[in-house]
Amino acid sequence: MESMGLNSKEGSIEEVSQGGFWKGKNVFITGCTGFLGFWLTKHLLQQGAHVVGLIRDEVPMAAFYRENLHQRITVVRGDVENGTLLERVVGEYAIDTVFHLAAQPIVTVAYHNPIATFKANIEGTWNVLEACRRHHPQVKRIIVASSDKAYGQQKKLPYTEDAELRGTHPYDVSKSCADLICGTYVTTYGLPVCVTRCGNFYGGGDLNFNRIVPGTIRSVLLDEPVVIRSDGTPLRDYLYIKDAVYAYCMLAENIEALGLPGEAFNFSSGTPVSVLDITRMILNAMGKPDYPVQIMKSACGEIQDQYLSIEKAQRVLGWMPRYGFELGIHETIMWYQNYFAHLRASESKE
């Protein structure tokens, strides 16, 4: 199978933080029950951090709950639109590190519900940063999850971090705005903020099955047609979720040491692949190369081609993806096989 240009080193996620950096740190994670939030929370707990997690909705089948992480962290109920709550959390729990991951993350949802997306992604970001401003310099590092969508559609590819932020569709605009707000809080108030702009994450635990990787795996496991909403030609790059955790932790650990406040970093595979090709690669990995694929050509508000340069992350942080696609997709498929087997077993007992 094609490797997508990834480094083939099979690094364990537990190896990414050196020297006990996170032991005893008070870390606040918004969006902790989400796909990235689950894996980041799990890793930081393993590293000895004290994690406070903001939870809006309880999703019992989410990996976060299935692995009982809610019993191992301090849970705060609420959402990022509640600025008063966020300020209380940062102060009351003496937070020194913030990972702001909470967002409305689905492009099609943003297309149909722009105002809710703007409130979650833009207002939510300024609320988090304002809470940190009021408790600075107690808060020493803030990582805000932006997106490759913040760049909008541009002729020059791959995107580099100095490219203009010019989203046009609702989701893209929400990320462009949040990204610019981060810059304001760095320049005006000196907050130690860094922004991540990542490609498409994949891995076990993603229950948004309208995304191409989990959706394709789910369809095969349930013996349903694989559906591609676009015409299959858009180019994207994909990053295994454990490599994403590696990136976020490495960036946070180096904000002070390398003087990085105000910097943005792209994290991804560095190698684009079409939607149809990634679908075929997944089917090949599942031993189903001839599985039927329906191409709907119905996607709305999607950018045709977008992929990222990771040269800056390599040069400044020494970061590279540690998982080849073969290993990443193998672990991902196994996770969903276990997930759906568990669902079937639970249903048979009812």
Catalytic residue numbers read 171
CA–CA dist 310, 320 (Å, integer) = 8
Contact 106, 149 (CB under 8 A): no
- Asked if the bond preceding 137 is cis, omega within 30° of 0, the reply is yes
DSSP 330-349: HHHHHHHHHHHHHHHHHHHH
CA–CA dist 16, 252 (Å, integer) = 12
CA–CA dist 180, 9 (Å, integer) = 35
Buried-exposed string 22-51: b where 16+ CB fall within 10 A, e elsewhere:
beebbbbbbbbbbbbbbbbbbbbbebebbb
CA–CA dist 71, 75 (Å, integer) = 8
CA–CA dist 16, 32 (Å, integer) = 19
Contact 244, 39 (CB under 8 A): yes
Count of CB atoms within 10 A of residue 306's CB? 24
CA distances from 94 to 128, 137, 154, 313, 318 (A): 15, 11, 42, 30, 30
Count of CB atoms within 10 A of residue 60's CB? 7
